[in-house]
Amino acid sequence: MAYLSQIAFIAVLGVAIYFLYKRISRIKKNIQLGKALDRSGNTSERMKTMLLVAFGQQKMFKRIIPAILHLFIYVGFLIINLEVLEFVIDGLFGTHRFFAPYLGSFYGVLMNGFEVLVALVLFSCVAFLVRRNVLKVPRFQSAEMTSWPRLDANLILVIEIVLMFAILTMNATDQILQGRDAGYYATGSIFFSALFIPLFEGLSTGTLIFIERFAWWFHIVGILAFAVYVTYSKHLHIFLAFPNTYFSNLNAKGQMQNMPEVTKEVKMMLNLPVENADAPAEIGRFGAKDVNDLSWKNLMDAYSCTECGRCTAECPANLTGKKLSPRKIMMDTRDRLEEVGKSLEAGGPGLEDGKSLIDDYITREELLACTSCNACVEACPVTIDPLSIILQMRRYAVMEESNAPASWNSMFSNMETSFSPWKFAPSDRFNWANDINKKQS
């Protein structure tokens, strides 16, 4: 029987690994559709950013209540998975509580610690469900939060609750079986699962073994299925938050990235030194029309989006009733990238399907509403940069299509002729100060 259980476990594990590998490979290929971008160097600063922001949850604590609840789930996810490691070892080798004989009485201490985290995770998940569905926190009710994003968030929370109850059920029945000489290692009392013992102690030994084994299988299969599901969900940030923060832009907020091709041309016109001045400029397109015009980091940002809505909640354009939502920008980019990826995987037209990120997913009205203030970038808990995508698409509209509002064109003309957004001669630029000097003299 144990031998058949091992074979079944290896088969389930193999299927999960296959689907995980296939999905991760697809995501990797999708991200690689983006343009090259050098985010190497400054390793120490990048490691510091990753440890503080991704691992340390630094930016989450700008909102203390959800931060604490999220911390409970996050720490629980990391530490409870140590118990999952034991599940995997037991499944592969047909053992039961593999680490227990080696850790002795300390094993019971660990299990009690794990169950404290289980209780905190349960509390936090219920609290988040209430916030989303009863209190209806405004940032979760925006127009882009359609039926699927809302269902996705609720599904994850419900799945976590069910998996936590599976652990408590397994441990409760296990503790009863320890006293019935059923070959179960004595772990001692485990507080939280012991509260469930009265529900099961009247059952026969065979029934208890079935329930304990069912809970074990339900939990490990659930964990593996959850791991696959996460790659299709907004909760992919659980894994991508780490590389995404490591490769984040370390420049000061507000420092816009100039287009290298334009910078080179300007320097050559001004007789300034230019690197690789003789190299031919290979400009496929100014700005970004579709996902392949964005950088790989922009595309990683899209997959890393937590859909928490902090960016949109801080966006001044959105707060004044404009259509722009930085969260929607990231969700639209990911949706377009997924569409292209699925098409390529099926041998379809991919990027040549007659659609584009601009217009078909993101409207001009949204792009023009952005004030370039960087509030969305500052608010994001995993250092996503929606502004970079917005700026690149606006550059495409202006430089490739000459499609800019009349007021913008006037400003561009003034900057070209008068070196400022206002239409007066450069020599008159400081005339406003004359009156001040007169008053002071």
Residue 413 forms part of a structural domain? no
Q: Which helix (H) or strand (E) holds 440?
A: helix 432-440
Residues 366 and 231 in one domain: no
Nearest of 355, 405, 421, 362 to residue 386 by alpha carbon: 362
Q: Is the pLDDT of residue 275 over 90?
A: no
**Does residue 428 fall inside a structural domain?**
no
Name the residue range of residue 178's domain: 2-236
pLDDT at 80: 81
181 and 298 in one domain? no
Residue 332 lies in a domain: yes
What is the rounded distance in angstroms from the CA atom of residue 150 to the CA atom of residue 136? 11
Q: Helix or strand or coil: residue 35? A: strand
The model's pLDDT over 279-330, given as tens digits with 9 standing for 90+, comes to 555 566 889 999 999 999 999 999 999 999 999 999 999 999 999 999 999 9
> In the predicted model, what is the mean pLDDT of residues 17-31?
97
Residue 137 CA to residue 107 CA, distance in Å, equals 41
The residue from 236, 264, 297 where one domain ends is 236
Residue 427 tokens read as: 């020599």
Same domain, 199 and 71: yes
> What pLDDT is attached to residue 2?
67
- Calpha distance 127→298 (Å, rounded): 32
pLDDT computed for residue 1 by the predictor:
58
Query: For the chain, what percent of residues have pLDDT higher than 70?
Result: 97
Q: What is the C-alpha to C-alpha distance for residues 288 and 294, in angstroms, rounded to an integer? A: 6
102 and 202 housed in the same domain? yes
Q: What is the pLDDT of residues 365-423, one digit of tens each?
A: 999 999 999 999 999 999 999 999 999 999 999 999 989 888 888 888 888 888 888 88
Same domain, 176 and 70: yes
Assign 295 to helix, strand or coil. Answer: strand
What does the block give as tokens for 46?
Answer: 């990048």
Q: Residue 156 has which token pair? A: 């994850």
Residue 307 and residue 231 share a domain: no
Q: Does a structural domain hold residue 418?
A: no
CA dist., res. 323 & res. 332, Å (int): 14
Same structural domain for residues 302 and 183?
no
CB within 8 A of 379, min separation 6: which ones?
59, 62, 310, 311, 313, 314
| pTM for the full predicted model | 0.90
Q: Are residue 139 and residue 58 in the same domain, yes or no?
A: yes
16 inside domain: yes
Residues 62 and 203 in one domain: yes
Question: Does 178 map to a domain?
Answer: yes
Query: Given this model, what pLDDT does residue 277 score?
Result: 61
Q: How many domains does the chain have?
A: 2
Domain shared by 171 and 305, yes or no: no
Tens of pLDDT along 190-244?
999 999 999 999 999 999 999 999 999 999 999 999 999 999 999 999 999 999 9
**Domain harbouring 323, CATH code:** 1.10.1060
Evaluate whether residue 27 is within a structural domain. yes
